[in-house]
């Protein structure tokens, strides 16, 4: 059963975004005004897209997935954002991110408040990932096992809701502010998993643009 947005959920969403409007405005302002990594030569990289999706709860979190534990799978057990390769039928990279989110996690575009692109990030296997930022409009008791999400088990082993406060604390404690660490140093541990690689690079950029705007009113930055 895929997710549905009921009338009561819509009312709760409006109330929540009204209560938490400072954060919504904050994220929109940060994304629109910040510098983001530009696209590389399209002839050298394969285009892919991912969706960095926030939950709109008071304890704002990012939704990440752990890739399936499959022999020979290049992303085996890695932490990532929902996403994938661009199809010829996709109108643009944004369409790719929303389509992959629906295919992998059953979250339709109607439940996503899209904020915008936060730039391009390249992998060692010549993929150019454009990362998009959005807010999931789904309201309710979202448990850490995400039992209310029907995700693609052929690609995803687990779904995580990682508090943004935790990522900011890690970013600060490892002295990542104002510098891009090496691939081996750039990690974000959480519970029994570690975020690294291009996903960590995306999070690093996101943390940098959030932390640099701490004067704005948003509870998760304080």
Domain presence at residue 152: yes
- CA–CA separation, 170 and 27 (whole Å): 20
Q: Is residue 215 assigned to a domain?
A: no
Residue 203 covered by a domain: no
CATH of the domain at 96: 3.90.79.10
Tens-digit pLDDT string for the chain (222 aa): 233 333 444 443 334 443 355 667 888 889 999 999 999 998 999 999 999 999 877 778 899 999 887 776 667 889 999 999 999 999 999 999 999 999 998 899 999 999 999 999 999 889 999 999 999 887 554 554 555 567 778 888 888 989 999 999 999 999 999 999 998 999 999 999 999 999 999 999 999 999 987 654 455 555
Domain count, the chain: 1
125-162: buried (b, 16+ CB within 10 Å) or exposed (e) per residue? eeebbbbbbbbbbbbeebeeebeebebeeebbebbbbb
Backbone angles phi, psi at 136, to 5 degrees: -80, 125
pLDDT attached to residue 177: 96
Bridge partners (DSSP) of residue 85 are 48
Q: For residue 118, what are the domain limits?
A: 7-162
Per-residue burial over 177-189, b if 16 or more Cβ lie within 10 Å, else e, is: eeeeeeeeebbbe
Rounded CA separation 68/184 (Å): 22
172 part of a folded domain: no
pLDDT of residue 99: 96
9 burial (CB, 10 Å; 0-12 / 13-18 / 19+) is: middle
Cα R_g (the chain), whole angstroms: 17
pLDDT at position 214: 63
Residue 45 belongs to a domain? yes
Alpha helices in the chain (DSSP H): 7-19, 21-33, 93-105, 164-173, 197-211
- Cα(201)–Cα(62) distance, integer angstroms: 15
**198, 211, 119, 108: which is closest to 164 by C-alpha?**
211
Tell me if 170 is assigned to some domain: no
Distance of CA 13 to the CA centre of its chain: 19
In a domain, 156, yes or no: yes
Whether 201 is covered by a domain: the verdict is no
Output the pTM of the full model: 0.84
Binning the chain into helix, strand and coil, the percentages to the nearest 5 are 30, 25, 45
Count of residues making up the chain? 222
């Amino acid at each position: 059963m895929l997710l549905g947005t009921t009338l009561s959920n819509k009312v709760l969403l409006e109330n929540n975004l009204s209560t938490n409007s400072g954060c919504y405005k904050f994220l929109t302002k940060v994304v629109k005004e910040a510098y983001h990594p530009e696209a590389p030569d399209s002839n050298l990289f394969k285009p892919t897209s991912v969706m960095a999706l926030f939950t709109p709860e008071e304890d704002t979190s990012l939704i990440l997935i752990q890739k399936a534990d499959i022999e020979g799978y290049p992303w085996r057990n890695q932490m990532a954002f929902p996403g994938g390769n661009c199809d010829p039928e996709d109108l643009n990279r944004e369409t790719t991110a929303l389509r992959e989110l629906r295919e992998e996690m059953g979250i339709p575009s109607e439940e996503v408040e899209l904020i915008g692109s936060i730039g391009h990030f390249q992998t060692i296997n010549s993929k150019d990932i454009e990362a998009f930022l959005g807010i999931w409009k789904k309201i309710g008791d979202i448990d850490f096992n995400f039992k209310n999400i029907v995700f693609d088990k052929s690609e995803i082993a687990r779904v995580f809701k990682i508090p943004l406060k935790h990522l900011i604390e890690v970013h600060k404690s490892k002295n990542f502010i104002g510098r891009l660490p090496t691939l081996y140093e750039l990690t974000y541990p959480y519970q029994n998993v570690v975020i690294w690689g291009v996903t960590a690079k995306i999070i690093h950029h996101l943390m940098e643009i959030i932390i640099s705007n701490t004067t704005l009113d948003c509870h998760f930055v304080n």
